[in-house]
Amino acid sequence: MKGGSRVALVTGSAMGYKDYGPSIGGAIAIRLARDGYKLVVVDMLRAAGERTVEIIKGAGGDAIFVRADVSLTKDIKMLVSFVKKNFGRLDCLVNNVARYSPGMLKSASEISEREWYKTLDVNLNSYFKMSKYFIPLLLKSGFSTIINISSIESMSALPNFSVYSVSKSAINSLTRTLAVDYAPMIRSNAVLPGFVRIANSENGRTPSQLKGWYSKISRQYPLKRVCEVEEIASVVSFLASKESSYINGQTIIVDGGKSIFDFHEF
Ligand SMILES: NC(=O)c1ccc[n+]([C@@H]2O[C@H](COP(=O)([O-])OP(=O)(O)OC[C@H]3O[C@@H](n4cnc5c(N)ncnc54)[C@H](O)[C@@H]3O)[C@@H](O)[C@H]2O)c1
C-alpha cells in the first residue's frame, strides 16, 4: 500500500452511532475514496469506523481504519507515524471531528471550565494539532490541502451553544493563518455547513418527531429542506481537487442560503 496514489485522512469519519447511518465524516471519506484517494479513516469508535472502511472497499476503493482520540497529542503522533510508515505521504487532511455533550449546551456563565476546555480540546485544538504534526508530510506532496469542517455557527450564535460557536470561529481563523503560512505548497479552506441530517442527531426521535423537527428547521432555509451529508462531501471533494486550485483561505458556506435569508414576515 506504499506510495502510488494520493492519500487522504479524515478525522471523525465513522458512520453514525446507530445502524451506521449517515455522518458527514463518513460521507467525506466515501467521496474522497471514490475520487481515487486511499483513505485513512480516523475515529474513536471502532465498529462504526470499520463500517466506513467496509463501504469504501465494497465500492472498490482503498481504506484503512485507525482508532485514535485526536484530542491527544500522543494519538496524533501515532497517526503521523502510521501514515508515514504505511503510505509515505499525505495529500489531503480533513479535520472534521466534533464533540457534543449535554454539559456543553450552556451559556458562558453556566458552562463549567472543564466542559469548555474539554470541548475546545476536540473541536478546536485537534484541528490545530493535526495540522501542526501533519504539515511536514503535507509539504512533501507537491499539491496538498487542509480542509476544516466549521459551521455557520462560526458567524452567528445559537443560544446556549457558546463553546461550539467559539471553536468554529477560531477554526475559520486557523484556516486563514494556515492558508497564508503554507501556500503555495498547501491550500487550506474551511467548509461551513448549516443544519445537516446525520444519524447521530436522529437518535432517540421517532419518525414522526423527526418529520416535524425537519419541517420546522426547513422553514429557515430558502431551499426548504435540510442538507444531506453527500452535499457537504461534494464540496470537500471540489476543495481537495485541482478544480479549486486558486481557492485558498476561504470559508465556504454550504447552508442552502440560510445565512442570507431574512424570513421576517410582513
Ligand atoms: N450535523 C450538522 O448539522 C453540522 C452542521 C454544521 C457543522 N457540522 C460539523 O460537521 C462535523 C461532523 O460532525 P457531525 O455533526 O456530523 O457529528 P457526528 O457525531 O456524526 O461526527 C463526529 C465524529 O467525531 C468523532 N469524534 C468525536 N470526538 C473524537 C475524538 N476526540 N477523536 C476522534 N474522533 C472523535 C465521533 O465519534 C463521531 O464519529 C463537525 O465538525 C461538526 O461541527 C455539523
pLDDT tens digit string along 2-39? 335 899 999 999 999 878 999 999 999 999 999 999 99
Q: How far apart are CA 57 and CA 49, in angstroms?
A: 13
19-23, 40-44, 91-95, 149-153: least confident range: 19-23
Q: How far apart are CA 68 and CA 86, in angstroms?
A: 16
Q: How far apart are CA 142 and CA 173, in angstroms?
A: 24
Phi, psi angle pair for 84, to nearest 5°: -60, -50
Supply 6's cell numbers: 494520493
Residues with a catalytic annotation lie at 164
Q: Is residue 213 part of a domain?
A: no
- Check pocket membership of 171 for ligand 1, CB cut-off 6 A: no
Domain span at residue 58 reads 7-198+227-258
Compute the distance from residue 87 Cα to the ligand 1 centre, in Å.
26
Q: Is residue 208 part of a domain?
A: no
214-255 pLDDT tens trace: 999 999 999 999 999 999 999 999 999 999 999 999 999 999
If one residue of 9, 18, 42, 43 were mutated to test the ligand 1 pocket, choosing by the most ligand atoms within 8 A of its CB, it would be 43
Q: Is residue 189 part of a domain?
A: yes
Work out the average pLDDT over 206-212.
93
- Check pocket membership of 200 for ligand 1, CB cut-off 6 A: yes
CA atoms within 13 A on the CB side of 175: 29
Compute the distance from residue 9 Cα to the ligand 1 centre, in Å.
15
Q: Is a pLDDT exceeding 80 seen at residue 66?
A: yes
Q: Is residue 82 part of a domain?
A: yes
Q: How far apart are CA 50 and CA 65, in angstroms?
A: 6
Residue nearest to atom 32 of ligand 1 (CA): 69
Q: Is residue 265 part of a domain?
A: no
Supply 176's cell numbers: 486563514
Q: What is the pLDDT of residue 203?
A: 81
70-108 pLDDT tens trace: 999 999 999 999 999 999 999 999 999 999 999 999 999
Q: Is residue 73 part of a domain?
A: yes
Supply 134's cell numbers: 501533519
- Check pocket membership of 96 for ligand 1, CB cut-off 6 A: yes
Measured CA distances, 72 to 78, 99, 228 (Å): 10, 14, 30
| CATH code of the domain covering residue 100 | 3.40.50.720
- Domains contained in the chain, number: 1
Q: Is residue 35 part of a domain?
A: yes
CA atoms within 13 A on the CB side of 157: 8
- Check pocket membership of 97 for ligand 1, CB cut-off 6 A: yes
Supply 191's cell numbers: 467548509
Query: What contacts 60, CB < 8 A, 6 or more positions away?
Result: none
Is-contact 254 27, C-beta < 8 A?
no
Q: Is residue 2 part of a domain?
A: no
pTM of full prediction above 0.75? yes
- Check pocket membership of 233 for ligand 1, CB cut-off 6 A: no
Compute the distance from residue 264 Cα to the ligand 1 centre, in Å.
31
Which amino acid would we find at residue 248? N
- Check pocket membership of 66 for ligand 1, CB cut-off 6 A: no
If one residue of 41, 44, 172 were mutated to test the ligand 1 pocket, choosing by the most ligand atoms within 8 A of its CB, it would be 44
